[in-house]
Chains A and B, each alone.
Chain A
Amino acid sequence: MLRGLSALVAMVLVVLPPAGGREAVAAPCCMSATAFGIGRLLIWEDFAVGLRLSWMHGVGTWDPNGDYLPHRDYRDEEVRTEVWAMGALSRRASLFGRLPMSLVHRRAGEISDTGGGLSDVAAGIRYELLQIGEYVELPAIALTFAVLAPTGRSPDEMRQVLGADVTGRGAFALSAGISFEITRLPWFVRLDLGTVVPLPFTREDTGRAQRLGPEVDVALSGGAEVSSGTVLSLVTRFAWHAPLAIAGRTVDGSERVDFGLAVAGSVVLADHWSLQLSIDTGFFFSGAGDNTPARVSTVLGLRYGHY
């Protein structure tokens, strides 16, 4: 899989050489805005809305020792849709919200479960301390703060044996992030650092206080506008989830590590509209993950920007 992805990236970069120099159509302000994820508003937009459709195919799992175990007679599929919106408050500040829903199908031997529903919604603010292109020598710096509400079904509310009906954390969480981006036309490089801190909650089934471990996320991405309105990006991501604590005691072996790579493309379809496609994969060998499912994700996104 990894070899295939590398070959795909290499092929794309060879076939579509970046537009060069100052004559490039790329604009520093806008190249990465719609490249992947929900991104940010373009400088002339009042608000943007989007729909992201993801298909996640489970291929294995990393156990708590970090050993990779490919699925055998086990199937794990998830389709997730996410409606998102963001609106400008000022030149530097914008609000955003995400409404995800998921449909999960799992099968182990003769047992199969299908479940889903609303996942945890999120809302937050993005503030651009330094905008792209504000200083020649400095990267753009943006801060994000968000609240995630436990609108999904939590693990302790699970009704199905294989947990296909679990769609959320079961706890409020606060997130904060900082992004640094450097643009040298037609290229950009971005570093995203973030943390998610779930708040304590009491499990309904046991009545005991539980706190999911804080999460640290790091993503390094780079990309280029290869032709007018078409941006290709490569993203490496790392996530570490601290162990959970029940009744104040840390649960051994509950920490998680997830590491992966994604290739993403975005195309401006027409005024206001852009399309995104990305493929995300982990590195499926022992040591490249810990206590987490191994999945390949394909994401298709449609974005409308209003101005």
Chain B
Amino acid sequence: MKNIRNFVVAATVGIIALFTGAVGCATTGATGSGLDVANLQDLRGEPASLAETVRTSRATVLVWWSATCPCVKRYSDRIRALYERFAPEGVSFVAIASNADDGPDVVAAAVADGQIPFTALLDPGASLADHFGVVSTPSVLVLDSAGAVRFRGWVDNERQPGQGGREAWLEDQLTQMLAGSTKTKRTPAWGCIITRSLGGMGSCGKKSGGHE
């Protein structure tokens, strides 16, 4: 089915390109490894880097954000609570906006009205999401100070606040990391698929990330 899907996307891109000539190479991710693979931008459109944040933090939590995803809204209070608990202990939180339809103004508005209580960066072309294989919002990634991925997945198993049998996946992982654990953890992830743009595909050589 994945081949069929790729064919459908490619065929549709071809048809649109044929009729509009609209497919270009406007988005090009920088090459490299680790965090350098992404051409992140701050909310003013200036190049930004996670490297310094990662290096100086005991852990860095990357939270993939979306303006319209109901799952992001459902998790915003829980993520805020984790931020307020762990930030004083040297953990950095960064919101990553990879959706092609979440522009700087949308993200800036979310920061301004407190929806995002920490730093937010734009991920044009979803190159950071692709690098880490993140496909949905609000997926979470935790990096240690060396830049190694220590957690990948979902905040918890509770898709509705108050649900019984909660497993606090992210909270437990951060607690263990701060206690010196070097274990890594990967959990299931749900949520809204990251919206991409055809401008980052085709002849430019970029492709969608894998699926978790």
- Complex contact A92–B1 (CB within 8 A): yes
Q: Which residues of B contact A134 (CB under 8 A)?
A: 193, 195-196
Q: How far is the CA of A135 from the CA of B1 in the complex (A)?
A: 18
Known: A26-B68, A138-B198. A307 touches B160 (CB 8 A): yes
* Interface status of B159 (Cβ within 8 A of chain A): yes
Q: How far is the CA of A155 from the CA of B185 in the complex (A)?
A: 60
Q: Which residues of A contact B198 (CB under 8 A)?
A: 135-138
Q: How far is the CB of A288 from chain B (nearest CB, A)?
A: 34
* Interface status of B184 (Cβ within 8 A of chain A): no
- Complex contact B67–A22 (CB within 8 A): yes
**Which single member of A22, A43, A141 contacts B192 (CB below 8 Å)?**
A43
- Complex contact A130–B195 (CB within 8 A): no
**Which single member of A129, A130, A137 contacts B197 (CB below 8 Å)?**
A137
Q: How far is the CA of A129 from the CA of B208 in the complex (A)?
A: 14
- Complex contact A141–B195 (CB within 8 A): no
- Complex contact A127–B159 (CB within 8 A): no
Residue of chain A at shortest CB distance from B102: A22
* Interface status of B130 (Cβ within 8 A of chain A): no
- Complex contact B9–A27 (CB within 8 A): no
- Complex contact A29–B69 (CB within 8 A): yes
* Interface status of A131 (Cβ within 8 A of chain B): yes
- Complex contact A44–B71 (CB within 8 A): yes
Interface size class of A (residues with CB under 8 A): 20 to 34
- Complex contact A29–B192 (CB within 8 A): yes
Known: A135-B197, A138-B198. A27 touches B68 (CB 8 A): yes
Residue of chain B at shortest CB distance from A271: B160
Number of B residues, CB within 8 Å of A = 29
Enumerate B59-88 residues with CB–CB distance to A below 8 Å.
Answer: 67-71
**Contact residues of A: prevailing secondary structure:** loop
Known: A130-B8, A130-B9. A137 touches B70 (CB 8 A): no
* Interface status of A28 (Cβ within 8 A of chain B): yes
Q: How far is the CA of A129 from the CA of B10 in the complex (A)?
A: 12
Q: How far is the CB of A234 from chain B (nearest CB, A)?
A: 23
- Complex contact A136–B192 (CB within 8 A): no
Q: Which residues of B contact A136 (CB under 8 A)?
A: 100-101, 195-198
Known: A29-B192, A133-B193. A138 touches B69 (CB 8 A): no
- Complex contact A43–B191 (CB within 8 A): yes
**Which single member of B68, B70, B71, B100 contacts A22 (CB below 8 Å)?**
B68
* Interface status of A122 (Cβ within 8 A of chain B): no
- Complex contact B1–A127 (CB within 8 A): yes
Q: Which residues of A contact B69 (CB under 8 A)?
A: 27, 29
Q: How far is the CA of A133 from the CA of B70 in the complex (A)?
A: 13
Q: How far is the CA of A74 from the CA of B191 in the complex (A)?
A: 53
Q: How far is the CA of A174 from the CA of B161 in the complex (A)?
A: 42
Q: How far is the CB of A274 from chain B (nearest CB, A)?
A: 14
- Complex contact A133–B190 (CB within 8 A): no
* Interface status of A239 (Cβ within 8 A of chain B): no
Q: Which residues of A contact B4 (CB under 8 A)?
A: 129
- Complex contact B71–A43 (CB within 8 A): yes
Residue of chain B at shortest CB distance from A138: B12
* Interface status of A185 (Cβ within 8 A of chain B): yes
Known: A22-B106, A27-B70. A307 touches B159 (CB 8 A): yes
Q: How far is the CA of A203 from the CA of B4 in the complex (A)?
A: 40
7 more A-B residue pairs beyond the given contacts A29-B69, A91-B211, A137-B197, with a C-beta to C-beta distance below 8 A? A22-B68, A27-B192, A28-B68, A29-B192, A44-B191, A93-B1, A130-B9
> 13 A–B contact pairs at CB < 8 A?
A22-B68, A27-B68, A27-B69, A27-B70, A44-B71, A91-B190, A91-B211, A92-B1, A133-B101, A134-B196, A135-B196, A135-B197, A271-B160
- 6 closest residue pairs by CB, A with B: A27-B70, A307-B159, A133-B195, A129-B5, A136-B100, A136-B197
